[in-house]
Structure 1
């Protein structure tokens, strides 16, 4: 990693100054993520004992304030009736079960009373009271998740087009593009698409299955991102070395996902894993950008710094404005721009490395001809 930094050095004083600057940045980043880890591990404000009589009555009758729900069944002459006719045509599509529908309706009824009394919103089962739109549980988070998915998809396709249609290929006898990390970034792109699909699904409808799928996809993306960061920043080009780096990370991430899904869905432990892998990636990219004279290192620094800054939105965690826009939705929104810039850096890196390797190949060929 250090050998690529020769073009950025102009003497011992410059090197010392950059070293102190990097050290200061690392201390600030470590302090920030330690604070983030502590705050993220705090328990949510949970208001689970809300209007239990309202929920029980709704589940028994299938109705609330003259509104009945298709997912509920009611007792008629000692038997169970057919599904009630829904007043909302999207309920059947989004598949809200009776308990979830009743909890939502009772929650909104109670929040309306709290608002009339001048009280602030509170969390119910760890979530803010969002207004459903077209059956979507957190509509703005769904929209911004889909926006991130679209940016990832467009950028990933343009990255593949750059590799296989624009940049020169290796000579005959050698397969694939010149860029040594094309496979790693391809796997990363697929993992990112998978993660944002499940993010949209989870925010559309929070169930046990969608929640675990979203968290598992996010952990997998962080794990793959960590592998790519190690391989790229340390310039590991030998396949055996790449496997040695990837194997323990894959083993840990796979074990963690199985632990969450089949043993104990421990949210606090999962947050610690997220923060640890995120901190490692930030440190690797920050130090690498400080030592390597990469033409697009400013983009990388902006992504790292911007990603750290917008994480404060999750820490703030304010109630949703108008019942729709909360801190997490804003985090998704700002993440769209960072996603585009991140893929722009990746494509710049592919072009830069390809030009370097082509120049080296040409110089080697010319030296052989001169001999």
Structure 2
């Protein structure tokens, strides 16, 4: 009961923080008079070819007498002339959206010079645009995640599945991992597109596929933890799969009809926490298994894991290479890194490095680490040395 209460208190605290962050989406930069005046000036002069400042200057007194609104004009504000360069038009920039971007940069630079607080606009920091890309560093990090997932996850798993020399029952155990890598790659593609150009459709696809990644990992880990790969648990396996698919359909439907940042955050955090609990339980079971093996044969240390790990792509190789018992703990290291990286989303700050790098892009940088530093190598080892071993034992008992 105490453990449940402790878990609920942590979950409630996270939800409170996320709710606060969601409320912060009402960006103070949008309400700045200077920002509104800048957009008006840009659109009138560059989009509508309306020299309103000259007209106001000529008929200033008449406008005052008639109660016509006088708009502020700043001769120091300079804007890109029309038509826009081709590379901007290719990415969907038009005169109005380009004015919005230019005014974000103009107002931000003025606030920098005056040592004033930097504000967000439309729920985002005022990043420096590169080749028409809104969040250049986030795009690079999303592509980095896509690359490592493809190279060290998808290609390796697909090669094993296509290896006809392996028993078909063994190859089938990699299907869940393959699905996770495919969903994850699509998620990073959606992330790349969203950070390139922020539209409602690109934002929604990014959120939908991020949720699919978390839930597919939850499904794969749940199936592994509860040993649904065994033939006598086929009913449980299909029931668990149907529940996860149904939950995802509900999640997408809920967001489609009621786009709620708070709900989306809470749902992903909750499933992510359950996923991490599954990680810990799997590690605990495997550690106990190899611990008992070492106790039964003290002079014999299991080193089969050395056939799967890459010493150039593993953290603390001198520690984790000592025995399979220690190697079972490796996911805890990777999970800790990811959780620490996730804390960056809470301690947000204005972009640095020429207004290109923010906490979200650094979070994407952190998520490259698990895939590159041997997460998929650990999964492959687990299937070959643990799952397959369990399957062979269960088949032997069945035939006896």
Aligned with residue 40 of structure 1, among 13, 18, 22: 18
**Residue 130 of structure 1 contacts residue 138 of structure 1 at CA under 8 Å; is this kept in 2?**
yes
**Are 2:389 and 1:356 aligned?**
yes
**Residue 163 of structure 1 contacts residue 177 of structure 1 at CA under 8 Å; is this kept in 2?**
no
1:206-250 deviation digits (Å, cap 9, x = unpaired)? 111100010011111111111111111111123321110121221
> Paired residue for 2:236?
241
CA positional deviation for 1:33: 5.0
The verdict on how the C-alpha distance between 1:325 and 1:297 changes in structure 2, with shifts beyond 3 A counting, is same
> Paired residue for 2:334?
303
> Paired residue for 1:314?
345
The verdict on how the C-alpha distance between 1:29 and 1:89 changes in structure 2, with shifts beyond 3 A counting, is farther
| C-alpha distance in 2 between matches for 1:204 and 1:241 | 42
Which SS does the other structure have where 1:165 is aligned?
Answer: coil
Which SS does the other structure have where 1:169 is aligned?
Answer: coil
Aligned with residue 129 of structure 1, among 121, 126, 129: 126
Aligned with residue 67 of structure 1, among 79, 100, 113: 79
Which SS does the other structure have where 1:196 is aligned?
Answer: helix
* Higher relative contact order (CA closer than 8 Å, sequence separation 6+): 1
| C-alpha distance in 1 between matches for 2:395 and 2:208 | 46
> Paired residue for 1:328?
360
> Paired residue for 1:160?
158
The verdict on how the C-alpha distance between 1:116 and 1:106 changes in structure 2, with shifts beyond 3 A counting, is same
CA positional deviation for 1:61: 2.9
Structure having the higher Rg: 2
How many residues were matched structurally? 322
The verdict on how the C-alpha distance between 1:32 and 1:184 changes in structure 2, with shifts beyond 3 A counting, is same
1:93-127 deviation digits (Å, cap 9, x = unpaired)? 21113332111111111011101101131111111
Structure 2: segments with no counterpart, 5+ residues: 48-75, 291-323
TM-score (norm 2): 0.73
The verdict on how the C-alpha distance between 1:274 and 1:357 changes in structure 2, with shifts beyond 3 A counting, is closer
> Paired residue for 2:296?
none
Aligned with residue 379 of structure 2, among 328, 337, 346: 346
CA positional deviation for 1:28: 8.2
| C-alpha distance in 1 between matches for 2:169 and 2:43 | 60
| C-alpha distance in 2 between matches for 1:161 and 1:27 | 45
The verdict on how the C-alpha distance between 1:129 and 1:245 changes in structure 2, with shifts beyond 3 A counting, is same
| C-alpha distance in 2 between matches for 1:187 and 1:97 | 39
RMSD over aligned Cα atoms: 2.7
**Residue 137 of structure 1 contacts residue 203 of structure 1 at CA under 8 Å; is this kept in 2?**
yes
